[in-house]
Amino acid sequence: MSYYSLTSGKINKEQGSALSAEFSDGHTIGPVTVSQNNLFIKKGLRRYFIAYSEADRIFRRVRRLHANICCGDGDIEVEYLVISVNGNEIMEITLPGKKAARMLLEEIKQTAPELDTAAPPTNDEDAGDEISDEKATTEADA
């Protein structure tokens, strides 16, 4: 099986045999396999990998998707694993559920404790409005 690096593309066969051994020793949760030095991702027919030392941040993202179902409307929570390199999100992997996402992130934290697994701060436009509203209230009271 051939492996593709998330940062540099396809690799040679010698590295592929070492990666195959590491992949078989890893623990698989959904499309992601956690091994000692690399994180493997199965997407389509390809297997990608990234060394923990190359990633800036690996974190979990939850999105609510609006769904029109036969019985009415509702929201579905979808779990993602996001890989960030040099401040750019290079891959977002859909995970099979909340329990799998939590287990996967805990295993990544144990395997690579030096890796940042916290989600980046959000640039919420409403947060700035709340601060300006508080200032206006304080100034009006004075």
In contact, 54 and 7? CB cutoff 8 Å = yes
Q: What is the pLDDT of residue 16?
A: 82
| Any domain includes 100 | yes
Q: How many domains does the chain have?
A: 1
Residue 26 lies in a domain: yes
- CA–CA distances in Å: residue 22 to residues 13, 18, 30, 138: 14, 6, 17, 60
Place of tokens 């709340």: 130
Side by side, the strands of the sheet bearing 32-34 are 9-10, 3-5, 46-51, 38-43, 32-34, 27-29
Distance CA 109, CA 133 (A): 39
Position 128 scores a pLDDT of: 45
CATH code of 19's domain: 2.30.29
Q: Is the pTM of this model over 0.85?
A: no
DSSP secondary structure letters along 13-28: HHHHHHHHHHHHHSEE
Mean pLDDT of the chain: 84
Is 48 contained in some domain?
yes
- Assigned domain for 111 exists: yes
Which of 69 and 38 is assigned the larger pLDDT?
38
Is there a domain that residue 137 lies in?
no
pLDDT of 79-138, one tens digit each?
999 999 998 999 999 999 999 999 999 999 999 999 999 988 877 554 444 444 444 444
Structural domain contains residue 139: no
pLDDT at 52: 94
Does 126 map to a domain?
no
Containing domain of residue 21, as a range? 3-119
* Stretch 10-37: mean pLDDT: 89
Domain assignment of residue 140, yes or no: no
